[in-house]
Structures are given as C-alpha cells and as structure tokens.
C-alpha cells in the first residue's frame, strides 16, 4: 500500500507534464473539431460536425450540392509526397554518410559526428533563411554562377517545389544519419568477408547482408524524418513562398486568416492519424528487426 502510493507520488511530476504538454492540448484540439467556428476566429460552444465534414467535402454555397474537397486531398497528397521524397533523398545521402563515419577511426568519427550535430545548435528559422539567401534570385549561388559566366540569367530556384525539397532534405538529414550511424556501427564488418567468401558480389553483399542487418536503423531514420517532414511548416513557408501549400501551412492558415478553427482542428487530427499509422509501422518493423539483433 505504502509503496504503491509512493510510486504514484514519485511519478506524479512526469504524469503532470505528460498531461499538460501532450494529452491536454490533444483533447482541446479534439473537442474544438466538433464545435462551430466563431466570426473572428476562436469557437462557439455549439456542437457541429461541419469541421469533420469539411475535411473531405465542400457544400456549394448556391445550390447546396456536396462536392469532394479535392483541394484538401491535393494538399494532403502534396505533403505526403514531399515527406516521402524527403525521406528517400535523406536516406540516399545519409546512408553513405553514416557508413563513412562508422568506418573511420575513433578520433575522426567523433569529429564527423560533432559536425553532423552542429546544425542543431542554430534555430531552424535562421538556417532556412540562410538557404533562402543562397538560392534566391540575387543570392550567392546565382551571382557566383553569373560571374563565372556559366549561366546568362538567374536560375529560378527559390519559391519552387524543388527549393522546398532541397531545404527539407537539408533540415532533416541529421535525423536520418544518426540512427543509421548507430545501426552501421553495430554491424559486424567481418560478415562482409563471409559474404564475399560465399560467392556474393559487392551488390549482393549490400542487398542480402548489409541492408537487412542495418534495417532497424533505416526504419528509425525514415520515421524520424517522415513524421516531422509531414507536418513541416517553416521550410515550405520560407523556401516555397506559400505558393504550393503543405498541410502544416494550411492548418496554420485556418487558425489564422481562415478563421475556421474546427476544420483546422479536424485536419490536425487526420494528420495525427497518418503519423500514428507510420509509427505503428515503425514499431512492427523495429520489433521484427530486433529479433535478429
């Protein structure tokens, strides 16, 4: 009795933080998604399913016919696609990077890992503006290329999907490299010789031995990149110029100028469901991976 009460007391601070920081706000968002939008933002305490209805459908204001809200689907699809592309690109760059780091001597390895973590020291906004400065029309990249005579007019990179893509890959690369490094560091390099000895080519050693054994790191890195990339707000805003909206930007818009908090809340919940599904996939794949670790 005594000990169980003490256990509750001891875990109380953690439980309070968890409730205040995670469960509480989530509940508020959930409740708001079933209310009626106020005229100047906020909500009126009148139950309504219009927020949820609005995530998928729009009602024509003249004849009341119901259409699929294809704008929302487009935004969702664009966000998922960008998050997937970012995950793939960070993997393609991150895997060789992590391999190189993990196969260096201890001293060089520490220096390289330190370099990987440096971006975390600077605010995301500032780093994104730095990229903006490099790739904008009169930016470092264009002026250098113009001065060298390699191009005759500035490249249109800023405010394109490509700019957002590059910016996202830059921001999330460390999140991919670190779990990959951890997995490759644990990889027994003697297995490479065992593979070659058993007639495997380099490609077969990569596909049949290295990738399956480091799979837990690949899954962890992919999830760590995919989840935040799905809800990215700063990077698409600053490098995409708000031309092609991502789901994060759209939700911000609804809570701001759009003044439709219930719809914003409902879209947030849907985004969370997508993230949860991705997490479930992660837990399953990781536990499968752990059984042969």
Return the residue of 111, 140, 194, 273 that touches another protein, per CB under 8 A.
194
85 to 144, contacts with another protein by CB under 8 A? Answer: none
Does position 204 bind another protein by CB under 8 A?
yes
* Nearest distance, CB of residue 128 and another protein, angstroms: 39
Does position 188 bind another protein by CB under 8 A?
yes
Quick note: the x/- pattern for another protein over 142-181, rule CB under 8 A, is ----------------------------------------
d(CA 257, CA 249): 12
Kindly tell me which of 2 and 291 has the beta carbon lying closer to another protein: 291
* Nearest distance, CB of residue 180 and another protein, angstroms: 17
Return the residue of 208, 244, 269, 286 that touches another protein, per CB under 8 A.
208
6 to 45, contacts with another protein by CB under 8 A? Answer: none
Kindly tell me which of 257 and 291 has the beta carbon lying closer to another protein: 291
CA distances from 10 to 1, 2, 17, 236 (A): 14, 12, 13, 43
Return the residue of 193, 242, 243, 283 that touches another protein, per CB under 8 A.
193
Kindly tell me which of 202 and 243 has the beta carbon lying closer to another protein: 202
* Nearest distance, CB of residue 146 and another protein, angstroms: 46
* Nearest distance, CB of residue 185 and another protein, angstroms: 15
209 to 238, contacts with another protein by CB under 8 A? Answer: 209, 212-213, 215
- Say which residues have a Cβ less than 8 Å from residue 46's Cβ, sequence separation at least 6: 35, 36
Does position 291 bind another protein by CB under 8 A?
yes
d(CA 58, CA 67): 5
* Nearest distance, CB of residue 220 and another protein, angstroms: 16
- Say which residues have a Cβ less than 8 Å from residue 72's Cβ, sequence separation at least 6: 55, 56, 250, 267
Contact 162, 245 (CB under 8 A): no
Does position 196 bind another protein by CB under 8 A?
yes
Does position 70 bind another protein by CB under 8 A?
no
Return the residue of 73, 198, 277, 283 that touches another protein, per CB under 8 A.
198
By CB under 8 A, name the binding residues for another protein.
188, 190-191, 193-201, 204, 208-209, 212-213, 215, 291-293
């Amino acid at each position: 009795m005594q000990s169980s009460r003490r256990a509750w007391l001891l875990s109380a601070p953690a439980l309070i933080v968890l409730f205040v920081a995670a469960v509480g706000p989530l509940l508020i968002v959930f409740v708001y998604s079933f209310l009626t939008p106020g005229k100047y933002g906020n909500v009126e305490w009148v139950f309504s399913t219009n927020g949820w209805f609005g995530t998928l459908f729009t009602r024509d204001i003249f004849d009341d016919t119901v259409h699929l809200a294809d704008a929302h689907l487009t935004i969702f699809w664009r966000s998922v696609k960008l998050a997937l592309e970012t995950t793939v690109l960070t993997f393609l760059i991150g895997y060789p990077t992590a391999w190189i780091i993990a196969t260096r001597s201890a001293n060089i390895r520490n220096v390289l890992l330190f370099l990987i973590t440096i971006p975390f020291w600077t605010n995301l906004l500032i780093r994104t503006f730095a990229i903006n400065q490099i790739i904008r029309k009169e930016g470092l990249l264009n002026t250098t290329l113009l001065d060298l005579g390699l191009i005759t007019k500035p490249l249109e990179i800023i405010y394109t999907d490509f700019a957002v893509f590059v910016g996202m890959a830059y921001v999330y690369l460390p999140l991919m490299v670190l779990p990959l490094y951890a997995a490759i560091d644990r990889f027994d390099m003697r297995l490479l010789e065992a593979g070659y000895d058993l007639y495997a080519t380099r490609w077969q050693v990569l596909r049949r031995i290295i990738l399956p054994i480091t799979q837990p790191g690949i899954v962890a890195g992919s999830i760590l990149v995919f989840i935040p990339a799905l809800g990215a707000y700063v990077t698409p805003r600053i490098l995409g110029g708000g031309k092609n909206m991502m789901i994060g930007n759209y939700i911000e818009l609804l809570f701001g100028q759009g003044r439709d908090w219930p719809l914003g809340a409902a879209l947030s919940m849907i985004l969370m469901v997508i993230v949860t599904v991705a997490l479930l996939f992660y837990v399953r794949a990781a536990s499968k991976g752990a059984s042969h670790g």
